[in-house]
Amino acid sequence: MPVYEYRRPDGTTFEVLQKFTDDALTHDPETGEPVQRVLHAPAIHFKGKGFYANDVGTVRGNRELERAAEAGADAHDAKMHAQRREREKAKADSDRRKAQQAQARAAAKVRGDSPKQHPKQP
């Protein structure tokens, strides 16, 4: 359970252990004086490298991190380009086969041949 801090009108403060669902106190439980909850900035801890440009570290270390990031991006780009080339090649091969089949059907139709009429002989 969180600890909340309250301030009395005279400026003194006290802490109370309360649930999140509990309503904020309006009066001091000991003296009955009106109180206000004191809000504080939450404590945030950033761990690891690279959160700020002025982080403690070496220039060399920052350069190495940048190079590693660029190398990773370059490798990813190369992989994507290779996959795209493979898809384009497969599509071109498929289109070429379809065109050849269409030409063969057109030639057979001109000759009056039908592939169904003449089964292949061994």
Looking at residues 25-43, what average pLDDT do you find?
Answer: 91
User: What's the pTM?
Assistant: 0.36
pLDDT tens sequence across 64-121 = 777 777 777 777 777 777 888 899 999 999 999 999 999 988 888 888 765 555 556 5
Domain layout of the chain by residue ranges: 3-38
Percentage of residues in the chain having pLDDT higher than 90: 42
- What is the C-alpha separation between 5 and 35, in angstroms, rounded? 10
Residues in the chain, how many? 122
| Average pLDDT over all residues of the chain | 82
Looking at residues 47-60, what average pLDDT do you find?
Answer: 62
